[in-house]
Amino acid sequence: MSIDSKENGTEATPGEEGKFVDSAGNPIYSKNEDGTFDYATWRGYKKYSANCFQCHGPDGLGSSFAPNLTEQLQRINYYDFTGIVVNGQQNKWHPVNSIMPAWGEDVNVMCFLDSIYVYLRGRADGAIPRGEPKKPKINKEAQAAENACLGF
């Protein structure tokens, strides 16, 4: 797997559980030499589509129900993102009836939180195009971590 620097100069380095991290230790996407992205990025797309798409729209571009996450992730960091997903928030995006539910106890979200973040971060950075990223080789370490988190 190539660990090339992103267009904006942040280098992805191997982290734990088959994921990549930036220089601050935050989860980040990595692009392979063949043009595919790392397993966590692809998995993040799949989990975003299953859990977030209904409100935040295709490719994180927002809807009348929820904000454009490709814009939001240009303003908030990893820790703010995880706090919002875990705890939810009310009336922050729109002053009336804007409710982000708390997903902190849903393993189908929490076991893939970093993957969802790296997918959306790549979309926010303009590095990942719209649509499903081409499926990379399965990362056995990442898949084992997912299964353990899910209790398999």
**Local confidence band at 9 (pLDDT 50, 70, 90 cut-offs):** low
Summarize pLDDT for 19-69 with one digit per residue, the tens. 999 999 999 999 988 889 999 999 999 999 999 999 999 999 988 888 899
Task: Please choose, from the candidates 71, 151, 77, the residue with its C-alpha nearest in 3D space to the C-alpha of residue 110.
Answer: 151
Is the CATH number 1.10.760 carried by domain 13-76+107-150?
A: yes
